[in-house]
Structure 1
């Protein structure tokens, strides 16, 4: 029997259960990593090639610890992969397996700390960047959550970090939404995950045998596709050659614009010293600014970042016309299951030298529309299976190759309305991505009408991260000024 308050209608437990499972979808039900997950797992070289993504939530009060713990226990039962660890086959002929951790300990993954006074934002960020730089225990499930107490006026924060092989950014946002609630009061009728049959503990030797068996079984169909492709090439050699050249050109344009010389300030980066910075702005204002310039929200975000990069370089006596920049292009569909890695990375020459923010947005809009129709946009899916099957020394060598992009950026939508974490209101959310060889990684997520920007900065080449954050703040301000309401204020 469910109860309700006057402003909160009763919820049918069966309907709520169906909605929760629809959100979780098929994520976590597969017993093997995908090719992209496997590459992130096997090629990680912490911290320069870290695969840690995280989010910092600022709360109006300290949440109830028992409720917070119960919420995490519920989510880990709803989404099985949060209780699974990675098991490598004895011979790495295929992807690793996700196996239930028989020694899963919620109290290891969910922690609480209290900062010494005054416990301001600088101390919170210092804790968060140190926690993000700490490698995961690769023998346990790949997530850790920490409640941070000791902030002024009884406030608190919550920091969640996830391994990128566990989920991508949008999947991480959806996972966080399961921990949160739309109401401050306790939810008494949350759906209960059905009992799952116990899983046998797999033997790494059998994982290799299974993979080899699967590959042998698929050889006939693969050989058939290869023969059919060969026949088409022989029948139309000129067309096949032209297609190959178009794909090669597209792959070059979407992966590594080597013609861009790169920032002289960001050379020699090591990724061994992460520094976090945060910014925020009204979502409506940033969207209005984008529309005023004929661009998208992503275009306005990128234009603000580039405006900040231009200012930072000018302060250090360096001028750049272009900067190599990477942004993922989401391939997610509305009916995709939770989690997954439905995206394609695109690296391009970004117009950092354009002083006019409206012109920057228009230029970025054109670049984005062009990239979306590139044949090789999802070229990663062709390369990843090969990299997963080469020796680890080769993958490590690939990981040491210079990264084309000086700047990496990513955006994803968050909660449209107010959310609560075990009774505490989530006032701000700031996402932080890893440094995939870049000097600066910028991520943005919306929370109840406010955009939270998280900057991960490579301190090995940026000795004054606060100056860089301030420059990006000025770049954001000039973009927001394009919005009619802001400009007239």
Structure 2
């Protein structure tokens, strides 16, 4: 979030992008996390812990108020903030197992947020009889935080011991985020204009100096950046998959577990990383899924978040950029596929336009939602890898046995989000029903793909 003249926070352009594109409901950026527990957590402790987290992250107590014109929306303190509205306790629905929990989670994923309140909800489901004793369904809008930031926020409500974790007291603050005024809006336009001019003059000066010393290289760099930006924003007019072509607002969720050590070893054996092995498992699963539908695929397009977050960045907001990568699907040998994916992903990480996420988002925010949809709705799948805790965690006295993150599809046929926890890669699979009407078949195919990768 960016501070303005009166210290009230505004959305960054990247956060505004995830909010603006929701004019098309297929592109909603709702994130749902399911946490499975070995016991029912202490309710009073749970409430106190979440209340503390809301003090650590002020955005949890703030709602979004649109501003005038092109100015980004403002985070404004909710004078009617009610913790008990955001945190709820219910009896687990039938069937009292993971399937019942996922049904609650998918309903949460499909339900729009109340714009008059902060965009997050926690629901404790008590009385499970299979898979866990209790579960917490956590729902939040992507503009509140990204995956890596979410893991840091989780550290504020989760403990390393069943008895709890000693935490530093929160310093009280009288500072509030007021509603926007016309003066604030005018101030934002003025400061933005000054910033653009200052950056333009600075860039022109640097470019001028480089033109004197190395003119050809300077021109190549400018041209390279322009081409890189074009690659990131280039519209995609059709899906690469001949099967997963339709889109809707209907969702279903599923899970898949793979050992961390096995996936990391496969990545290393193929000359890549765990993330490269993760993508290879999905690609091999897609080959199997399309074979079951008597279809062939030459390549697929994947949207992949790239982390731009630094250690000293605030917890809230997004520090990612979304890139759409074309991955060939003609290899069936896992090691070769991992090696190829590693090369492709590394080239994208070095793209000159990747660090320019916020300026690019600012340009996209002036486009109609239909134009943004053209960029995203024809992507075949979305994949995200979020490093979690390597040690067991507890929530208000209950041990966390599994945790799954279900990222938004934002126009893709499905999203697979890998959240590592202790020794497992816990994968949450969020599927658009129109694109993938046979979820069980998709999960079987993905399991086949990861089995092939891990057995290399």
Q: Is the 8 A contact 2:59 2:316 kept in 1?
A: no
Find the aligned partners of 1:244 and 1:102 in 2 and give their Cα distance. Answer: 48
Find the aligned partners of 2:207 and 2:168 in 1 and give their Cα distance. Answer: 53
1:343-399: CA deviation from partner (whole Å, max 9, x where unpaired): 2322222132321111111111111222222222234333222233x3xxx432223
Q: Is the 8 A contact 1:257 1:324 kept in 2?
A: no
Partner of 1:355 in structure 2? Answer: 332
Confirm whether residue 373 of structure 1 aligns to residue 373 of structure 2.
no
Partner of 2:403 in structure 1? Answer: 429
**Count of residues in correspondence between the two structures:** 448
Secondary structure in 2 matching 1:326: strand
Find the aligned partners of 1:471 and 1:410 in 2 and give their Cα distance. Answer: 18
Confirm whether residue 401 of structure 1 aligns to residue 374 of structure 2.
yes
What is the deviation of 1:463? Answer: 1.0
Partner of 1:157 in structure 2? Answer: 135
1:260-311: CA deviation from partner (whole Å, max 9, x where unpaired): 96001111323x1111110012211211121122210000110111111111
1:87-136: CA deviation from partner (whole Å, max 9, x where unpaired): 222x2332222121111000111112223333122211111011111111
Find the aligned partners of 2:103 and 2:344 in 1 and give their Cα distance. Answer: 36
What is the deviation of 1:252? Answer: 4.5
The structure that has the greater radius of gyration is 1
Partner of 1:471 in structure 2? Answer: 445
1:454-484: CA deviation from partner (whole Å, max 9, x where unpaired): 11111012110111011101111111112xx
- Of the candidates 43, 53, 61, which is equivalent to residue 21 of structure 2? 43
Q: Is the 8 A contact 1:167 1:341 kept in 2?
A: yes
Distance 1:246 1:361, change over 3 A: same
- Of the candidates 384, 388, 412, which is equivalent to residue 386 of structure 2? 412
Q: Is the 8 A contact 1:345 1:378 kept in 2?
A: no
Secondary structure in 2 matching 1:313: helix
Partner of 1:265 in structure 2? Answer: 243
Structure 1, 344-353 or 465-474: larger mean CA deviation? 344-353
Find the aligned partners of 2:396 and 2:177 in 1 and give their Cα distance. Answer: 35
1:65-107: CA deviation from partner (whole Å, max 9, x where unpaired): 1111111111111221211111222x23322221211110001
- Of the candidates 183, 187, 208, which is equivalent to residue 210 of structure 1? 187
Find the aligned partners of 2:112 and 2:119 in 1 and give their Cα distance. Answer: 10
Q: How does 1:77-92 map to 2 (within 5 A)?
A: 77-89=55-67, 91-92=68-69
What is the deviation of 1:256? Answer: 4.7
Q: Is the 8 A contact 2:11 2:73 kept in 1?
A: yes
Q: How does 1:217-296 map to 2 (within 5 A)?
A: 217-218=194-195, 221-222=198-199, 224-225=201-202, 228=205, 242-254=220-232, 256=234, 262-270=240-248, 272-296=249-273
Find the aligned partners of 2:27 and 2:34 in 1 and give their Cα distance. Answer: 21
Q: How does 1:98-247 map to 2 (within 5 A)?
A: 98-152=75-129, 155-187=133-165, 189-199=166-176, 201-215=178-192, 217-218=194-195, 221-222=198-199, 224-225=201-202, 228=205, 242-247=220-225
Confirm whether residue 446 of structure 1 aligns to residue 420 of structure 2.
yes
Find the aligned partners of 1:301 and 1:230 in 2 and give their Cα distance. Answer: 40
Q: Is the 8 A contact 1:49 1:436 kept in 2?
A: yes
Distance 1:366 1:259, change over 3 A: farther
Find the aligned partners of 2:354 and 2:43 in 1 and give their Cα distance. Answer: 45
What is the deviation of 1:221? Answer: 2.5
Normalised TM-score (structure 1):
0.85
Q: Is the 8 A contact 1:49 1:399 kept in 2?
A: no
Distance 1:171 1:46, change over 3 A: farther
Secondary structure in 1 matching 2:156: helix
1:305-329: CA deviation from partner (whole Å, max 9, x where unpaired): 1111111100000011211112122
Find the aligned partners of 1:143 and 1:185 in 2 and give their Cα distance. Answer: 27
Secondary structure in 2 matching 1:360: helix
Secondary structure in 1 matching 2:446: helix
Confirm whether residue 328 of structure 1 aligns to residue 305 of structure 2.
yes
Find the aligned partners of 1:35 and 1:466 in 2 and give their Cα distance. Answer: 38
Structure 1, 73-82 or 348-357: larger mean CA deviation? 348-357
Distance 1:74 1:382, change over 3 A: closer
What is the deviation of 1:206? Answer: 3.2
- Of the candidates 434, 440, 455, which is equivalent to residue 460 of structure 1? 434
Partner of 2:455 in structure 1? Answer: 481
